[in-house]
A and B are shown apart, each in its own frame.
Chain A
Amino acid sequence: MSVLSAKDLAVGYDHSPVLENINFTIEAGDYFCIVGENGSGKTTLMKTILGLQTPVSGKVEFGEGIEKDSIGYLPQQSDVQRDFPATVYEIVLSGCQNTLGNRFFYSKAQKEMALTNIKRMGILTLKNRCYRELSGGQQQRVLLARALCATQKLLLLDEPVAGLDPQVTEEMYELIEDLNKQGHTIIMISHDIENVKRYATKIFNVTEVV
């Protein structure tokens, strides 16, 4: 079953494409990696897939049953987050925002889901700690737990191991592989081609398209 496909897609800013002629299909259960050098347009492609940017031409099509509430996203960290006063639990719970619907507050089930995902990422002991005091690897686990609250199906990860040391990087890759085995479709951006080859089922190299 196709989850997502790109047809003759061109992405970029203000009508000038950074990447053109993008064609791929992602099936359910895939571990799909988008690789390429820094500045080659990987993040722009990811943002277009997420609908944060409109494509210059062509289109992104989602498969049946893939809605906004079945997408989990792990963005690159921003300046704002680095010194943000919020606990791990508060941040993970905010992943449930896409299933809030017309309600104002999170339900009991949503709170339990946040806790479950915190346990899944092995950060239960950090639950009440402040996000800005955590190490880079721990912060990524928090953001991954949040992404899991937002989706049962599709996970988009933007450079999940950027800035992590080799051992933590390894742990992060294993964590993602586990999620893939548990049935999540993974779309990941990386410039770390060597490592990606070991895990990905499909690799899309943006530098080869142009």
Chain B
Amino acid sequence: MEKLIMYLGFPFVRYALIVGVLIALCSSLLGVTLVLKRYSYIGDGLSHVAFGALAIATVLNLTNKMIIILPLTILAAILLLKNGNNSKVKGDAAIAMISVGALAFGYLLMNVFPSSANVSGDVCSTLFGSTSILTLTKEEVIICGILSVCVLVVFVLFYNRIFAVTFDENFANAVGTKVNFYNLLIATITAVIIVLAMNLVGSLLISALVIFPALSAMSVIKSFRGVTIFSAASSVICAFIGIIISILGGTPVGSTIVAVDVVMFLICFVIGKVKG
């Protein structure tokens, strides 16, 4: 406990907690919709695109890498979500293709144009998030805060429409709701969250932040509103516990959070089964 209080005295630890909780909150909100729309894997695909974009930004030696990462990831999200079910390449294949392609090109770029001496170390920290959350600057925390609040506000305001579009696209379309616009909105928010979450858990584990809280909630709760709230709460709690454990135990932040999420899911799953 004393150790914990001592650690909380460091600003970088507080930053990590703030950013971690915000990202966990945002990703879990969208997670419910993505899982129900059968897009569980989009987090994974987009995070690899973000990794590829990061590689480009690194090679170009940009100081503000977001300028490249965010637009490219949003673009990929829109391409994937927009015509997922009507295009020639089906949804899951399209995600797999873009995901692996971006990962390969990213790694290739980083190797051909190495920007630092330790390429494999860089790559590893991007993929698994290792310690980057503990090296956040104040500016990054502020940017993350602003984007998180935007995501939250948009989600709350459009909650009813997001529900309508998730439950039944055909009905929504038939009665005149602009389904394409809302799909675009969901795609954009997803991309923003993925880019934010890269700092926290790294690009390989982002899917976990998106799907685990949603799946935990769905196995115990029966209303959409309840699922959304439970998912957000469990995600925040897991992220908080995960970060604390990783600080005290010196474990990697990303994988610790995901491990806590997995435990939470197992508990919820068992409770759901027992309750029937």
Q: Show the binding face of A for B, using Cβ within 8 Å.
A: 47, 50-52, 67-69, 71-73, 75, 78-81, 84-87, 90-91, 94-95, 97-98, 100, 104-106, 128-130, 133, 146-147, 150, 156
- Asked if B171 contacts A146 (CB within 8 A), the reply is yes
Beta-carbon nearest neighbor of A75 in chain B:
B170
Set of chain A residues within 8 Å of B218, measured between Cβ atoms: 85
- Asked if B175 contacts A86 (CB within 8 A), the reply is no
- Asked if B224 contacts A97 (CB within 8 A), the reply is no
CB distance from A81 to the nearest CB of B (A): 7
Set of chain A residues within 8 Å of B227, measured between Cβ atoms: 85
Which residues 163-210 of B have a CB within 8 angstroms of A?
163-164, 166-168, 170-177
- Asked if A52 contacts B160 (CB within 8 A), the reply is no
Q: A78-B168, A80-B38 are in contact. Are A97 and B174 (CB under 8 A)?
A: no
- Asked if B223 contacts A90 (CB within 8 A), the reply is yes
- Asked if A69 contacts B163 (CB within 8 A), the reply is no
Set of chain B residues within 8 Å of A73, measured between Cβ atoms: 170-171, 174-175
Is B157 interfacial (CB-CB < 8 Å)? yes
Q: A69-B175, A75-B170, A104-B157 are in contact. Are A90 and B36 (CB under 8 A)?
A: no
- Asked if A75 contacts B168 (CB within 8 A), the reply is yes
Grouping DSSP codes into helix (H, G, I), strand (E, B) and loop, the A interface class, with mixed when no group exceeds half, is mixed
- Asked if A97 contacts B175 (CB within 8 A), the reply is yes
Set of chain B residues within 8 Å of A78, measured between Cβ atoms: 168, 170
- Asked if A130 contacts B167 (CB within 8 A), the reply is no
- Docked complex Cα distance between A67 and B157 (Å): 25
Set of chain A residues within 8 Å of B157, measured between Cβ atoms: 104
Beta-carbon nearest neighbor of B32 in chain A:
A85
- Docked complex Cα distance between A40 and B256 (Å): 55
Which residues 114-166 of B have a CB within 8 angstroms of A?
157-161, 163-164, 166
- A-B contacts, 16 listed (Cβ < 8 Å): A51-B173, A68-B176, A69-B175, A71-B176, A72-B175, A75-B170, A75-B174, A78-B170, A84-B36, A84-B167, A85-B217, A85-B226, A94-B164, A100-B161, A104-B160, A105-B160
- Docked complex Cα distance between A129 and B38 (Å): 23
Is B241 interfacial (CB-CB < 8 Å)? no
- Asked if A75 contacts B171 (CB within 8 A), the reply is yes
Is B225 interfacial (CB-CB < 8 Å)? yes
Is B221 interfacial (CB-CB < 8 Å)? yes
- Asked if A94 contacts B176 (CB within 8 A), the reply is no
Best-buried of B166, B177, B222 by chain A (most CB within 10 Å): B222
Set of chain B residues within 8 Å of A130, measured between Cβ atoms: 222-223
Beta-carbon nearest neighbor of B161 in chain A:
A97
- Docked complex Cα distance between A129 and B226 (Å): 13
- Asked if B222 contacts A85 (CB within 8 A), the reply is yes
CB distance from A15 to the nearest CB of B (A): 15
- Asked if B167 contacts A98 (CB within 8 A), the reply is no
Is B37 interfacial (CB-CB < 8 Å)? yes
Contacts A71-B174, A85-B217, A90-B223 supplied; 16 other A-B pairs, CB < 8 Å? A52-B174, A68-B175, A73-B171, A73-B175, A75-B168, A78-B168, A80-B168, A84-B167, A87-B223, A90-B163, A97-B160, A97-B172, A128-B223, A146-B171, A147-B171, A150-B171
CB distance from B4 to the nearest CB of A (A): 36
- Asked if B168 contacts A81 (CB within 8 A), the reply is yes
Set of chain A residues within 8 Å of B170, measured between Cβ atoms: 47, 52, 73, 75, 78
- Docked complex Cα distance between A91 and B166 (Å): 11
Beta-carbon nearest neighbor of A72 in chain B:
B175
Set of chain A residues within 8 Å of B166, measured between Cβ atoms: 80
Set of chain A residues within 8 Å of B36, measured between Cβ atoms: 80, 84-85
Set of chain A residues within 8 Å of B161, measured between Cβ atoms: 97, 100
- Asked if B223 contacts A85 (CB within 8 A), the reply is yes
